[in-house]
Structure 1
């Protein structure tokens, strides 16, 4: 009975990670967890927090600010309260906390949680930078190191907790969506860490030779480096070759095409999953990295199915090309 009582009337999957509070209030109203007067009281309480924050913004001299600044500060207030409410595993409990605890207390707790998140993310980022893979791609290190450091320098959670400031030019295998502020940066860094852990299992020169098989110069392009490496490694396993080399020949691709011809995505996916499990075991990947990479397998299966059908497998499973630039990792 107790487990049944804990079922929330609010479906958390309908809540926005970026605009958690506003979507929580909307769903709380639609599911009758909160009444219209209660929601209005919450909104007024948030405006009271805004008034105090604008005074702090002006050095306690006045509560008058430009409309644009007031909108930014209000968004920061709502975001900070939302960060606190995410601590509740049950979304209905989170909605009721707005009435029981009040916006002011939730804002203070959310601010402390953001401060902790900021400190731990800085430490995690510093460790990631020390173990970043070597690559001549200009966007990888410039984003992961310089760009993220730029965020830390500009981030002011007291009045702009929702701001990101940077563009995160390096694209991920799985882009971060529906998050803002430090939550976005933390998730971005954690995903980069998963990709980096996998890629550092291979020689930088080997990865460079593989990516030189692209029809364009990958060094000057904002493209994901992990995806081609993962696909080539899986292809090597399917061919019965040493996946550390990432080296597939035209003959390998011809054999693979014959082996996979006529197989749909539903048949290709189990093959890729078995190949991935074998490779993951050999590489001793962390669980989070395993789960992150495994989530890409359905997409890779669909790409391979299409490539076999259209005779374009070499565009998915790259063949290494001997670099002529004399690149050597530092």
Structure 2
């Protein structure tokens, strides 16, 4: 498995924010009582209703408003994925690190988006039913767009944001893993097979849709899988059909000795690859004998992977290459 398709289903469920804020609030409250119990007892004594009043304030004065904070944060993370057009991430340390680093500016700026809503909800709950503009000014607005407010929230929001991001990434990894192995394989078996680099069956046929309707196509017939305007296609026999798989899913299910991901927009059939050569500005161009006039652009970073895949591909058909194992593909 080389690429993770980002489904982000974890981030799209409303209970995620409730669950995470609950855990964080509980841990913070436990930490306060363990590190400074005297201060907590003094705070408890301020409430005429005793422990009940303390708990009510904790739940409705702190917990519920912070649900708003996390809710806005999740909406921002979803919008950020769409804004940057992030739908997949490479399954390697560098790609994952870059993916996570892209979200640091969002977490550092999130305060300016959520703080008006958080304070408004806190004011509405705590001051009900006697609302007073002066009290809002004195007790709530004093941290609105201030360094104190920013400093208070940003570290915690960054930690929560990365928790959400990494839990979502882990669940997407497990989902991709299940999809890349045959149906019926258990998750543990799939993890073991991946860890041991065990050979597995690759997709041999694929269901496609064209003007003539839905049909099953042998992947060997496909010259190119590509995405255009959000739709995925298979080019075969001079035709183009719609494929109901993402390129990330296809990359993980197709034989890597026969199909190569040149960039995030296409996967080319190496059986039909005619040549690859330097193009411009550190990029290369690939040409397929079945796609005359079509130049497939590839970044230099993938050149080594292409050459290794071509060597394995040619070894399947060339007896001399199978024996010697040292012939290089033509550039």
TM-score (normalizing by structure 2):
0.25
Structure having the larger proportion of residues in helix? 1
Q: Greater Rg, structure 1 or structure 2?
A: 2
Structure having the larger proportion of residues in strand? 2
Larger relative contact order (C-alpha < 8 A, sep ≥ 6)? 1
